[in-house]
Amino acid sequence: MGEAIGQLLPFAVGVAISPMPIVAVVLMLVTPRAKVNGPAFLLGWIAGVAGTGAILLALAGPANASQDGAPADWVNWLKLVLGVLLLALAVHQWRGRAREAATPKWMSALDSFTPAKSAGMAVLLSAVNPKNLLFIVGGAAAVAATGIGTGDQVVAWAVFTVLASIGVAAPVVIYFGLGDRAPRLLDELKTWLAHNNTAIMSVLILIIGVKLIGDAISGFSA
């Protein structure tokens, strides 16, 4: 299980520092329904990450992701494809780092969100967002390829879910834990993300993409 956790760490970090959901929960925490919508968003995020991983691991089991303790050929091909996609995404993000991204229309409607809608939006951002989905697929493939048992897979994916939720959980903890000081810190966090996260994410995606390609080549040559 230790090997599985070590393999999934980079993917969990990639999900954790995804800027859009963090900005979304920060904006949600300055609305009149912050006390219910913030926790609802966090719970939806956790459910999205955990549920998507559970589905992927359930599908990987019958597909024999591990052969004699080594990744199956199809897992190596999956890693190669994911690596190439991540490299392309890294290049795309880096080229667009100087452009100011338009704010999604749904973010301007956060004042009217109910807890259910907040949770639903978190599920979409965690499990349907293409970048996060690539990381989740990569993390699930890394766990499945180790050949560990179902119980250990559950524990490993629980670790992934916790780590992947730190970015969204941090603003909620700040809001409830710091009281009157929270708005200033949350605003600073949002500003920092807006100015720095594209470059950081580009580098992180590039590193993980190269790692996946390297792992795939090693798997094919084993």
What is the pairing mode between strands 66-67 and 70-71? antiparallel
d(CA 2, CA 4): 5
Q: Which two tokens stand for residue 27?
A: 């904006």
d(CA 205, CA 102): 22
| Residues making up the chain, counted from first to last | 222
Residue 98: predicted pLDDT = 56
pLDDT in tens, 75-104: 778 888 888 888 888 887 777 665 555 566
Residue 138: predicted pLDDT = 86
User: How many domains does the chain divide into?
Assistant: 1
Q: pTM for the whole thing?
A: 0.81
- Give the range of the structural domain holding residue 171, as residue numbers without chain letter: 2-221
Using 50 as the pLDDT threshold, list the residues of the chain that sit under it: none
